[in-house]
């Protein structure tokens, strides 16, 4: 699984260089580092004003604490859920 930080698309600035990308589905693009292959972001036309950034690739990971747990209907059985976060069976945009 992955932890995403959702940010306004028009506020995102790539600091060093633009990532590579590919069309993952008819309505979404995935961005990745062309040097190491790390997945960096996901954009979907279903939420056209935002982009999801892979938190594990950020310099200050602790600045992006989760607010909800989504897709819990298909979670790995041994992954515990938080007692304090909002739970969503599937993602609601």
Whether residue 41 contacts residue 19, with contact meaning beta carbons closer than 8 Å, is answered with yes
Model pTM score: 0.80
Mode of pairing for the β-strands spanning 86-87 and 68-69: parallel
Pick the range with the lowest mean pLDDT from 4-8, 71-75, 77-81.
71-75
Q: What is the pLDDT of residues 31-52, one digit of tens each?
A: 999 999 999 999 999 999 999 9
Whether residue 21 contacts residue 29, with contact meaning beta carbons closer than 8 Å, is answered with yes
Whether residue 73 contacts residue 87, with contact meaning beta carbons closer than 8 Å, is answered with no
């Amino acid at each position: 699984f992955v932890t995403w930080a959702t940010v306004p698309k028009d506020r995102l600035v790539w600091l060093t260089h633009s990532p590579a990308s590919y069309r993952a589905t008819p309505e979404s693009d995935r961005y990745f580092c062309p040097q190491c292959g790390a997945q960096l972001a996901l954009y979907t036309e279903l939420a056209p004003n935002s982009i999801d950034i892979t938190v594990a690739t950020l310099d200050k990971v602790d600045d992006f604490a989760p607010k909800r747990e989504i897709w819990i209907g298909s979670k790995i059985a041994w992954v515990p859920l938080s007692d304090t976060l909002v739970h969503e069976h599937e993602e609601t945009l």
